[in-house]
Amino acid sequence: MIKKTTEITINTEYITLGQFLKLADIIQSGGEAKSFLAQNEVEIDGISDNRRGRKLRGGEIVEILGQKYEIKR
Average pLDDT over residues 47-69: 96
Instruction: Please state the CATH superfamily assignment of the domain spanning residues 6-72 in this structure.
Output: RNA-binding S4 domain (3.10.290.10)
Cβ atoms within 10 A of the Cβ of 22, count? 17
Distances (CA, A) of 11 to 6, 58, 71: 17, 10, 10
* pTM passes above 0.85: yes
Phi, psi of 61, deg, nearest 5: -110, 125
Answer yes or no: is pLDDT of 1 > 60.
no
pLDDT of residue 20: 97
Answer yes or no: is pLDDT of 50 > 70.
yes
Q: Looking at the DSSP assignment, which residues form a beta bridge with residue 72? A: 9
Q: Hey, what's the torsion of the CAs at 41, 53, 29, 8, to 10 degrees?
A: -80
